[in-house]
Structure 1
Amino acid sequence: MDQPGPIARPLRDRLTIPVLASGGILMAVMQTVVVPLLPDLPRLTGASASTVSWMVTATLLAGAVLTPVLGRAGDMYGKRRVLTASLALMTVGSVMCALSSDIGVLIAARALQGAAASVVPLSISILRDELPPERRGSAVALMSSTVGIGAALGLPLAALVVQYADWHTMFWLTSALGALGVTAVWWAVKESPVREPGRFDVLGALGLAAGLVSLLLGVSQGGQWGWASPRIIGLFAATVVVLALWWWQQLRTERPLVDLRLVTRPRVGLSHVAALLTGFAFYANSLVTAQLVQAPKATGYGLQLSIVATGLCLLPGGVTMLLFSPVSARISAARGPRITLALGAAVIACGYAVRIADSRDLWMIILGATVVATGTTLAYSALPTLILRAVPAGQTASANGVNVLMRTIGQAVSSAAVAAVLVHHSSPLGGISVPTLHGYLLAFAMAGAVALAACAAALTIPGDEPAADSTRTDAGEARGTRDEAMEEA
């Protein structure tokens, strides 16, 4: 195997963080670009609106199922290898969307793109293995912020393409970016020698997949099918039974997919609870803001903005997330990540207070949304640092995968809860039912209350001192393993 030259290797080392961060941004862009298309897809594909909605649901379900599975695979078989495969699946899905207008193919392609949800936890694990402690904090904070940055960039980008070009062009563009991302990761990112040996828990992966699909399908389709319908009740009952059996199986497996004994430790378990609550609080901001500013002026509060203008309203939040990620790292270094997480959740609650105070003036709407984005940056940047300090190096990817899964579940529940509030508080306008301003304010109040609950959960997480020593030990072990691997080579 050829070795990089004295100039090429340092260049690759310098590009590791930008390449991994660009992969996270690309993943978030890929998840977001379909949103501006949803109103037109029934006409473009000849499918019903309910069928078209599966282009979002399929990505959500696949991402939730595959994130912990691919995280565990990365710990066992190599993080760069699994990361490259995830980006490749995402790119293949984008090519399929570019080549077809058949709704069945499009839904299957979007499910393939869900594999990219594992990009962030895998990248964070690589950063832990490869970077010295003094650089790790800021790099992990940046990596965590890429989700919000990519979402803020993806909406206006997709809206511009949809407005001025054929909708397939958008997927050709993301296909090219995906291929570039795969190539960049293969060239610039080193494979970490830190592994967790053992046999892959296939039964555990299937059980977790079945339980998560039942849960998220029930949550995402409850409003459409009816919360009291036999299908929804059956899905939730199946969730309880399947996940209970899965929990029992995981506790009795020598090499489980998810180490539940580790998850139930207060430092890890409470971090996952905070992730779920933060995901709920963060997601309501994007959902409600987009609908609010596009509402007709006849409502008395709506601004009737175009899709492009709506995306631009969310753009300052994405820029803020990029700028505040190093601030989050400095706060975590000085005060500890649990304080950063609590502060971030409190800032999110303040952002919703701004939204409740004034949701009629555009500048106040943008200000409130940006404050929520700032709090999200602090919280999302602190969560992986908490996990890194609490788990062994060999389980970093799978533990961060579970943390991302909890955020995803929080976002799914947030979507269902916000939809239920807005449907319940609607009034007729021009023959259609539109949410009232009171409904939007209730949604803001609900998200703000959940953010305060996340703040309380963060403050109950045990202190950082013992875990920090553990992190330094893990880093030393990782470097020692690398040195041994180099000597053997």
Structure 2
Amino acid sequence: MTSPHVTGPPLDDPSGLPDEVAQAMAEADATAGPRQPAGRGLVAALVYCGLCTSVVGSLGALLIPTISETQNVSRGTAQWVLTAALLVGAVATPVLGALSDRPTRRTVLLCTLGLVLLGSVLAATAQSFPQLVIGRAMQGLTYGVIPMATATARAHLPPDRVRSAVAALSVTTVTGAGLSFPLTGLIVQVSNYRVAFWFAVGFTALALVAVLLTVPGRDPSAVGRPARLDWSGAALLAGALASLLLAVSQGDEWGWGSPGVVGLFGTAALLFPLWTWHELRTERPLVQLRSLKHRDVALANVSALGLGAMLFAGSSAVSQLVQTPRSTGYGFGLGLLLAGLALMPSSIGSQVSNRFVQVLARRIPIQRMLPVGPALICLDMVFLTFFHDQLWQVYSGTFVQGLAIGASFVVMPTMILAAVPPEQTGSAVALNQVLRTLGGSIGSATVGAVLATATLKGELLPAEHGYTLAFAGTAVGCALLALVLLLAPVVQARRSAATPATVA
């Protein structure tokens, strides 16, 4: 059965993807059957839900000092407002992604946003620290919203609109953070942290209304009763991810050689292979690991893990650097509001590169653009290694980071969607996002360890060379990742060319 979209987008197509990618997506979508017409404003509603993910998910980052003081807990204990959301998000995202591949995806999205709304209310009204952590844990469900939004877009939009919608969804994480950080800083300066969580209540409530009004109900292309969810795979993956992320996030606090951290790493090392074995032998697995045999899917996921680590490492170092007191001789002493504004150039850069990539992809195969993101971050980190004593230099660095994010975060899901069938969209994008989150945790923990080694005994703040090492290390990591992404297609092409001669 042929599709009217097989020929790919014309030059004025807003999706801006090359013919081979457009054809692959169109051929896959042609097998999915009829679509239920989308309501007006569907794309805008889904993009707003993506912004909700970033705004609500990043609320706790700048609030840790304030929460520590208000709740009378240590900084290490206050860190749980981030850790709890991260753990729940990483564990829930694969399950939510799999559920969004079913005809009841609208109900799943509404229930998820409803739980996030409830968590925001709990956090805003918390009279105790445990209640605040529970609220933040429920807010962590927002990490699964973007895979659900991507699956919804693919189910209810024509292929040409899917591509532009995915491009817009892909950069909402950095755009939302660029809005959330300065807004959080402003709220804390003029009021208290509870107002920030009440803001999350209003933001999430609007997302709920938008989904109710624009997202169609059941998918008429789905026939019969959906298959049973792979709960065994979900439990194994949840245990593996929770163990690994908890070990990485608490390594500095508990000690990397402590029995708790070593035990968690050991548990993760046991559960990940067990989960892989289970998924490869299950008829309907939670995550289709066999899709990793496709080169584009594998490279997109390798890029997600590596980029997550490098981006979080670089942004974490920048965030701490600009808030370091001027008395150290190298810091800028910015308050919460100005420190949050330091991320605004990143949001602007991501929007610029998002549009540039869509134009460039009309002439260049999108797979060739995958190394661009790591290469840009590498150049940025090299620059910051030698030049970070002026605020304009730091702002320039965050702008280039935004360019890298906009380029990479559009390319990765596009490659995945071109390779997987529509009924695997949610789970495939969810895996990519989990790897990005996992990489971010590793990158953030690595920077923390580097800065800790640069902190003299009896001092509270690291020496300047700690930031220099963090930037330099991130540059090296990005250079290696870019090299891998450049060479992998060449190696595979040579192997494919040599295969017929070997058989003969």
- Distance in 1 between the 2:56 and 2:77 partners? 20
Instruction: Tell me by how many angstroms 1:356 deviates.
Output: 1.6
**Deviation, structure 1 residue 185:** 1.0
Match of 2:464 among 423, 431, 437: 437
Tell whether the 8 Å contact from 1:141 to 1:328 is kept in structure 2 after alignment: no
Amino acid at match of 1:29: V
| Equivalent residues of 1:90, 1:113 under 8 A apart | yes
Q: Which range moved further: 296-305 or 447-456?
A: 447-456
Deviation of 1:194 (Å): 5.3
Q: What one-letter code is carried by the residue in structure 1 that aligns with 2:243?
A: S
CA contact (8 A) 2:39 2:213 kept: no
Q: Where does residue 137 of structure 1 map in the other structure?
A: 163
For structure 1, which segment, 297-306 or 394-403, has the greater mean C-alpha deviation from structure 2 after superposition?
Answer: 297-306
Residues 338 and 461 of structure 1 are in contact (CA less than 8 Å); yes or no, is this contact kept in structure 2? no
Distance in structure 2 (CA, Å) of the matches to 1:195 and 1:318 = 38
Query: 1:96·1:109 contact (CA, 8 Å) conserved in 2?
Result: yes
Q: How does 1:13-92 map to 2 (within 5 A)?
A: 13-92=39-118
Q: CA deviation at 1:353?
A: 1.9
Q: Is the 8 A contact 1:279 1:411 kept in 2?
A: yes
Letter paired with 1:143: L
**Contact 1:331/1:340, CA 8 A, preserved across alignment:** no
Query: How far apart, CA to CA, are the structure 1 residues paired with 2:353 and 2:43?
Result: 17
Is 14-23 or 260-269 further displaced after alignment? 260-269
Whether the 8 Å CA contact 2:66–2:193 is kept in 1: the answer is: no
Give the corresponding residue for 1:160.
Answer: 186
| Offset of residue 459 of structure 1 | 2.8
CA RMSD of aligned residues (A): 1.9
Aligned positions, number: 452
Equivalent residue for 1:366?
Answer: 395
Q: Contact (CA 8 Å) 1:348, 1:373: kept in 2 or not?
A: no
1:230-249 to 2 correspondences below 5 Å: 230-249=259-278
Structure 2 counterpart of 1:271, one-letter code: A
Q: Distance between the aligned counterparts of 1:124 and 1:25, measured in 2?
A: 13
Q: What's the offset of the Cα at 1:195?
A: 5.0
- TM-aligned CA distance change 1:454 to 1:128, over 3 Å: farther
**In the alignment, which residue of structure 2 is the partner of 1:447?**
474
Report the AA paired with residue 472 of structure 2: A
Unaligned 5+ residue runs, structure 1?
A: 1-8, 464-489
Overall identity of the aligned pairs, in %: 37
SS in structure 2 at match of 1:36: coil
Give me the whole-angstrom Cα distance separating, in 2, the residues matched to 1:49 and 1:226: 16
Greater percentage in helix: 1
For residues 37 and 358 of structure 1, what CA distance do their matches in structure 2 show?
29
Contact 1:277 1:453 in 2 (8 A): no
SS at match of 2:370: helix
- The two structures have a TM-score, normalised by structure 2, of 0.86
Q: Deviations over 1:95-137 (max 9, x none)?
A: 1111113111111111111111011111122222333333333
Q: Secondary structure of 2:113's partner?
A: helix
Equivalences for residues 259-408 of structure 1 within 5 A: 259-408=288-437
Please report how far the alpha carbon of residue 303 of structure 1 lies from its aligned counterpart in structure 2 after TM superposition: 1.1
Relative distance call for 1:283 and 1:193 in structure 2 (3 A) is farther
The C-alpha deviation readout for 1:176-216, integer Å capped at 9, x for no partner, is 11111111011112244455931111111111101111111
Preserved contact between residue 348 and residue 402 of structure 2 (Cα < 8 Å): no
Match of 2:207 in 1: 181
Letter aligned with residue 334 of structure 1: R
In structure 2, relative to structure 1, the CA distance for the partners of 1:231 and 1:374 (3 Å cut) is: same
Structure 2 residue identity aligned to 1:273: V
Structure 1 residue ranges (4+ consecutive) displaced by more than 6 angstroms after TM superposition = none
3-state SS in 1 of match to 2:287: coil
Q: CA deviation at 1:462?
A: 4.7
Q: Structure 1 69/462 Cα, relative in aligned 2: closer, same or farther at 3 Å?
A: farther
SS at match of 2:460: strand
- The AA in structure 1 aligned to 2:460 is S
Are 1:204 and 1:257, in contact at CA under 8 Å, matched by a contact in 2? yes
Does the 8 Å CA contact 1:75/1:396 hold for their aligned counterparts?
A: yes
Contact 2:370 2:485 (C-alpha < 8 Å) held by counterparts: yes
Q: Which of 173, 196, 203 is residue 232 of structure 2 equivalent to?
A: 203
Name the aligned partner's letter for residue 384 of structure 1.
P
Amino acid corresponding to residue 277 of structure 2 in structure 1: W
Which whole-Å CA distance do the structure 2 matches of 1:390 and 1:459 have between them?
Answer: 19
Distance 1:49 1:366 in 2: 27
Structure 1 length as normaliser, TM-score? 0.88
* Alignment check: 8 A CA contact 2:313 2:443 kept: yes
CA offsets 1:217-256 (integer angstroms, 9 cap, x no match)? 1111111111111111111111111122211211221111
In 2, are the aligned partners of 1:332 and 1:382 still within 8 Å (CA)?
Answer: no
Q: Secondary structure at the match of 2:76?
A: helix
Post-superposition offset of 1:170: 1.4
> Comparing 386-395 with 337-346, which one deviates more in the overlay?
337-346
Contact 1:277 1:410 in 2 (8 A): yes
Query: How far is the alpha carbon of 1:94 from its aligned partner?
Result: 0.5
Q: Distance in 2 between matches of 1:147 and 1:188?
A: 22
Structure-2 change in CA distance of 1:194 and 1:326 (3 Å): farther
Instruction: Give 1:45 shift.
Output: 1.4
- d(CA) in 2 for partners of 1:458, 1:403: 16
Distance (Å, rounded) in 2 between the aligned partners of 1:211 and 1:142: 31
Unaligned runs of 5+ in 2: 1-35, 491-504
Structure 1 residue 332 displacement after superposition: 3.1
Partners of 1:145 and 1:78 lie apart in 2 by 26
Aligned to 1:229: 258
